[in-house]
Amino acid sequence: MKKIVVLLFVVNFSYAQQTNRKLVWEENFDGKELNEKNWNFELGDGCPNCGWGNNERQLYTNQNHKITKDHLVITAKKEADKYTSTRITTKGKKEFQYGRFEARAKLPVGQGVWPALWMLGSNITEVGWPKCGEIDILEYVGKEPNMVFTSLHTQDSHGNTINTKKTRFDDIEEGFHIYAMEWTKDKIDFFVDDTLVYTFAPENKTEAVWPFNQPFYIIVNMAIGGNFGGPEVDDTILPQDFTVDYIRVYQ
């Protein structure tokens, strides 16, 4: 009986914490075009850090997306001998420190696709990566079906993906799912739908271990190939769409 009471208390406390939060920003993609008051396009092949630092194969354009039926749809294509896609960020426009960040999205599928919803520290221009910190709320690579990756990058890990979790969801490629991160001064929790998949809560929060005490901005993109998504790309699957219904921030 005591265990049941404790469980009910935890559930009720969690619900109270959730309901006490306020929605501070949302992007519902309900216009005719991407709202550039909130979003920037990042273009090209990433040079001088070519391949966007990961030997990715796509060129980013401002043409590989559309706003339709209140959704953002990023489309990866093979055009002649080039792969194209879109990458957008809220850098300098919408930046946040702490809170619940969630997106409802539908994944592309197939060998070579690499969609992501992630965040970078707003001081990246001053201190560089990985010192600025990186939070990967969602990464999916088509070469590993049914798997969702949630990760963090810091100076302590020299940018390597050691603070990470790969979680299997047999229906993840079917329809829309909610990908979320809850970030406080003490820890970061990652969720897929209602499932807690990973917690990062280091005890010794040095600058190199915990750069997550500053504002971060949001990035949405779909890469092709690269060190993580490739190297092989199945051209027969293209074009592929990464569809985002909404992004919300609660604090």
Closest CA to 131 of 185, 209, 54, 205: 209
From the candidates 134, 173, 182, 203, give the one annotated as an active-site residue: 134
Count Cβ neighbours within 10 Å for each residue of 32-68 and write b for 16 or more, e otherwise.
eebeeeebbbeeeebeeeebbebebbbbbbeebbbee
Strand, coil or helix: what is 239?
coil
Q: Is 42 an annotated catalytic residue? A: no
Cα angle 177-149-87, degrees, rounded to a multiple of 5: 75
Catalytic residue among 102, 139, 174, 207: 139
Contact between residue 242 and residue 22 where contact means Cβ atoms under 8 Å apart: no
- Residue written as tokens 């997306």? 65
Tokens of 10: 């935890």
* 126 given a catalytic annotation: no
Q: Which residues are catalytic?
A: 134, 139
